Amino acid sequence: MMPPALIYIGIKKKGRGFRLWLPLFLLWPIVAVLFLAAISISVVTDLPSLIKRKAYFRNTRLAVGCLQAGMAAKGLRVWADNGEANVKIRVV
């Protein structure tokens, strides 16, 4: 699964508007380092449940779930129109 690379935001209001491209691919190395730190901390905090032989890894599942939610955002499209302005957001 590939992470999202760009966010396109377009706003148009009464004939005037602008477009903005936000490069997410520049943030992914930072996110990768933070994810590795979070996984290592969550594994350490889940060790007591492993020692007690209870298969309950809440912190690790949370960290992995957050990463999966970020990866699943690719392809997201949002269009909003309130009569005065049109807003388009795409995650590519």
Chain segment 12-59, per-residue pLDDT in tens:
998 899 999 999 889 889 988 999 999 999 888 888 877 887 767 778
Q: Residue 64's domain spans which residues?
A: 6-91
Size of the chain, expressed as the number of residues it contains: 92
Which amino acid is it at 22?
A: L
> For the whole model, what pTM was predicted?
0.67
Residue 62 lies in a domain: yes
Residue 1 lies in a domain: no
Residue 86 lies in a domain: yes
Residue 42 lies in a domain: yes
Number of domains into which the chain is organized: 1
CB atoms within 10 A of CB 63: 21
pLDDT band at residue 1 using 50, 70 and 90 as cut-offs: low
**Sequence-ordered strand ranges (E) for 4-91:** 6-13, 16-23, 77-81, 85-91
